[in-house]
Amino acid sequence: MPNKFLIGCAAVALSLGAPLAAHAAVFEVKAFGAKADGKTPDRDAINKTIDAAAAAGGGTVSFPAGTYLTGAIHLRSNVTLQLDRGAHIVASADTATYDSGLSALITGEGLENISIVGDGLISGTNALVRQARANSADIERAIALKSCRNVTLRDFSVLNGGHSCVWLLGVDNLTLDNLRLDTNRDAMDVDSCRNVRISNCSVNSPYDDGICLKASLGLGFPRATENVTITNCLVSGYDIGSLLDATYKRTITSVPDRDGPTGRIKMGTGGEGGFKNITITNIVFDRCRGLALESVDGGNLEDITISNITMRDVWNSPIFIRLGSRQRTAGGVTPVGTARRVTISNIVAYDADPRYPCIITGIPGHNVEDIKLSDIRILYRGGLTMDHAARQPAEMASTFFASPRRGTPVPSREAYDVPEREAEYPEPSMFGVLPAYGFFIRHAKGIELNNVEVGFINEDRRPAFVLDDVKGADFQHVKAQKAVGVPTMWLKKVEDFTARACTPLPDIKIPTVDRREM
């Protein structure tokens, strides 16, 4: 229950035009004129309440149950927004009520000690989408914070949060806990941030990335995203709104590209500053794409640990590690970055898209390095052949989006001749259907697979593994289902390959080989 004495003080202070006493720690927005009727604009009353709390040295701005129609809300240092159960903050469709710059519904820059907490709901109600079409994508944000520190976002929900539902640039000491984000584009963009804890969050974003780490030049200079933990979360690609209402609908198939619902956890693109010292554990992926670890803009991706992941209904590669040379940096070309010291363990994936196996690939002259995979079980949908792998990506898009079995493949390239596409936007589909159903590994050094098992639901007539330009590959206790007459593995320009206790491969050590099927 709100403190009636403090509310009364707020009302008196409002009528006198005087600041509240410093001891008044709770400031209720209705006492400052907010109507919460869903019709009357409440932006000015909300911001007046926040200003009063800041002038008093900090405090909690309380939103009792009700619907608050508002434009831009400006956070202040040492202020907490408390969204009570039943409180609903709704984005106004009036673009004049938003600022230039960060241009978000709730915004702050250069602040410290700020929080948004409580069981309330923040809703774009499509207003943020309309603004993006009329103006620019920068306006489509539910929450945008830049160059802040000591930030906590906890317990609330967001529906239709816009281009970046929660956008965080250069934020240090950041906690995101028990959030429910059900949105039309990126759910979380954590960009150039340090000391980040993301936990217990449910994130649904069928049209874009779920939890996305970036390290862009948004601050005007490269800055790494580092010291990050992501744990105990769900990422999904259900129909928008069906996470929050707990119906988990799965009717969406038309998305911006041919890869199906997105939803996933990703680091990159926009990775000029690099990614360092990151742990991801205890995550459920459902009806979305898999893990994506990308360094294509010159940054270094290193010291990453991922464990305890389950995936079902996977719409492209369960694991995608890409070192490329898109080099989007303005003002010149930067050196190619790195992707190294990545450990992934305890992964179970069921019903994975057959077109795109797990992909680990660099580019000529720049290897992905020191990748360790263990205790992994992946069951693909299957149903493809080497003829499918010989088709170009554009041909596969229309023929196989709805079902990999539809259509009659017409070979248009040598099946193992996979295009490099060094400078393209990184996505598993960039290479077309690949000649391996389990793992495609290319331009890599120091790859270990231990206790890894791959198989298919419907017979797949491609090798389980393709290794191309790989130096130092160690396979131990690896199992692969295979069709009759189809090799388990295809090697090209491979050095120092070892297989031990693998099924159906014999124990073997190969110092160097130009081309070989096994």
Per the model's pLDDT, the better-predicted residue between 97 and 498 turns out to be 498
CA 257 to chain centre: 16
- Once rounded to an integer, what is the mean pLDDT over residues 444-455? 98
Lowest mean pLDDT among 12-16, 55-59, 209-213, 353-357: 12-16
Asked if pLDDT for residue 453 goes beyond 80, the answer is yes
Place of tokens 């803009």: 297
CA–CA distance, 506 with 518 (Å, rounded to integer): 9
Q: Tell me the per-residue pLDDT of 187-201, one tens digit each, with 9 for 90 and over.
A: 999 999 999 999 999
pLDDT band per the 50, 70, 90 thresholds, residue 513:
very high
CA–CA distance, 380 with 383 (Å, rounded to integer): 9
Angle at CA 256, nearest 5°, toward 250 and 257? 95
Q: What percent of the chain has pLDDT over 70?
A: 87
What pLDDT does 255 receive? 77
Signed CA dihedral, 211, 215, 217, 218: sign only: positive
Note if the pTM is more than 0.85: yes
Query: In CATH, which of 1.10.600.10, 2.160.20.10, 3.40.50.150, 3.40.50.720 is domain 58-486?
Result: 2.160.20.10
Q: Tell me the per-residue pLDDT of 372-398, one tens digit each, with 9 for 90 and over.
A: 999 999 999 999 999 988 775 544 443
pLDDT band per the 50, 70, 90 thresholds, residue 404:
very low
Signed CA dihedral, 36, 39, 44, 47: sign only: positive
Asked if pLDDT for residue 481 goes beyond 90, the answer is yes
What pLDDT does 93 receive? 86
What pLDDT does 417 receive? 87
Q: Write down the domain spans for the chain.
A: 58-486
Asked if pLDDT for residue 344 goes beyond 50, the answer is yes
- Once rounded to an integer, what is the mean pLDDT over residues 316-332? 83
CA–CA distance, 284 with 311 (Å, rounded to integer): 6
Specify the DSSP class assigned to residue 219: T
- Once rounded to an integer, what is the mean pLDDT over residues 405-412? 37
The alpha carbons of the chain give a radius of gyration, in whole angstroms, of: 25
- Once rounded to an integer, what is the mean pLDDT over residues 131-160? 80
